A = this chain, B = another copy of it.
Amino acid sequence: MPADKNGDIRMNEAFTRQWDALRDEADHALRRCLPAEDTPPAVIHRAMAYSVFAGGKRLRAVLFLAVADALGWRHPERARPAAAIELIHTYSLIHDDLPAMDDDDLRRGKPTSHKVFGEAMAILAGDALLTLAFQLLSRYPDDRGYVARRLAVIEEVARAAGTPAGMVAGQVLDITAPGQATGPDRLHEIHRLKTGAMIRVSVRAAALLAGADERTLARLSEYSEALGLAFQITDDILDETASPQALGKTPGKDRQQGKLTFPRLYGLEQSRNLAGRTVADGLAALDALGGAVDTAFLADIARFVLARGH
- Chain A residues with CB under 8 Å of chain B are 35, 39-41, 43-45, 48, 91, 95, 98, 100-101, 118-121, 123-124, 126-128, 130-132, 134-135, 137-139, 144, 147-148, 150-152, 154-155, 158-159, 161-164, 166, 168-169, 171-173, 175-176
B164 touches A35 (CB 8 A): yes
With CB as the reference atom, state the residue of chain B lying closest to A98.
B123
B-chain residues with CB within 8 Å of residue A176 when the two chains form the complex:
41, 43
Question: Chain B: which residue is nearest A166 at the CB level?
Answer: B131
Q: When the two chains form the complex, which single residue of B123, B150, B155, B169 contacts A139, counting CB atoms closer than 8 Å? A: B155
| Cβ contacts under 8 Å, A95 to chain B | 123-124, 127
27 contacts between A and B (CB under 8 A): A40-B164, A40-B169, A41-B163, A41-B172, A43-B172, A45-B163, A95-B124, A95-B127, A98-B123, A100-B119, A101-B120, A121-B172, A126-B127, A127-B168, A128-B162, A130-B131, A131-B161, A132-B158, A132-B163, A134-B158, A138-B154, A138-B155, A139-B151, A144-B148, A147-B151, A150-B151, A151-B151
For this chain, the copies found in one complex come to 2
A123 touches B123 (CB 8 A): yes
Apart from the given pairs A44-B163, A131-B161, 9 other A-B contacts in the complex at a CB distance below 8 Å: A35-B163, A35-B164, A41-B169, A48-B163, A95-B124, A131-B163, A135-B154, A144-B148, A147-B151
In the assembled complex, which residues on chain B have CB atoms less than 8 Å from the CB atom of A119? 100
Question: CB distance A159 to B135 under 8 Å?
Answer: yes
CA distance A44 to B127 in the complex (A): 17
User: Using Cβ atoms and an 8 Å threshold, which residues of chain B touch A137?
Assistant: 154
Which 5 A-B residue pairs are closest in the complex by CB-CB distance? Answer: A135-B158, A100-B119, A131-B162, A138-B154, A138-B155
Give the residue among A48, A118, A144, A155 with the most B Cβ atoms within 10 A: A155
**Complex Cα spacing A164 to B37, Å:** 11
B44 and A169 within 8 A (CB): yes
List B contacts of A123 (CB < 8 A): 95, 98, 100-101, 123
Q: List the B side residues contacting A159 at CB < 8 Å.
A: 135
By a CB distance below 8 angstroms, the chain B residues around A155 are 135, 138-139
Q: Give, as a whole number of angstroms, the nearest-CB distance from A284 to chain B.
A: 31
How far is the CB of A189 from the nearest CB of chain B, in Å?
A: 9
Q: Which residues of B contact A100 (CB under 8 A)?
A: 118-120, 123
